[in-house]
Amino acid sequence: MLVNYLIQSPNKAVNNLSKQMDLQSELKRQHHMAFKYRLKRFAVTKVGISSAFLAGAVVQASSTKSGLIKKYAWLARLLA
């Protein structure tokens, strides 16, 4: 009974926590891999290319002094 209380019960708790930590780290790894895959796929698509183009247009619009470009810069930021 004393052996059960001092050794086996804490060992079960440690094993349970270890399994939970392993599960969390595996889920984080899978999430990270899925995110990297989606990021690569997004960069290749036309949407990714057009988003990059619009982001460049926003940077260019914010750096110029033209009133017409600045007038519609909010729309480019919204689309980007």
pLDDT tens, 15-72? 999 999 999 999 999 999 998 888 887 766 766 677 777 777 767 666 655 665 666 6
Q: What's the burial of 55, exposed, middle or buried (CB within 10 Å: 0-12/13-18/19+)?
A: middle
Q: Which two tokens stand for residue 22?
A: 């392993």
Local structure of residue 2 (DSSP, 8 states) = H
> In the chain, where are the structural domains located?
1-43, 45-80
State if pTM tops 0.75. no
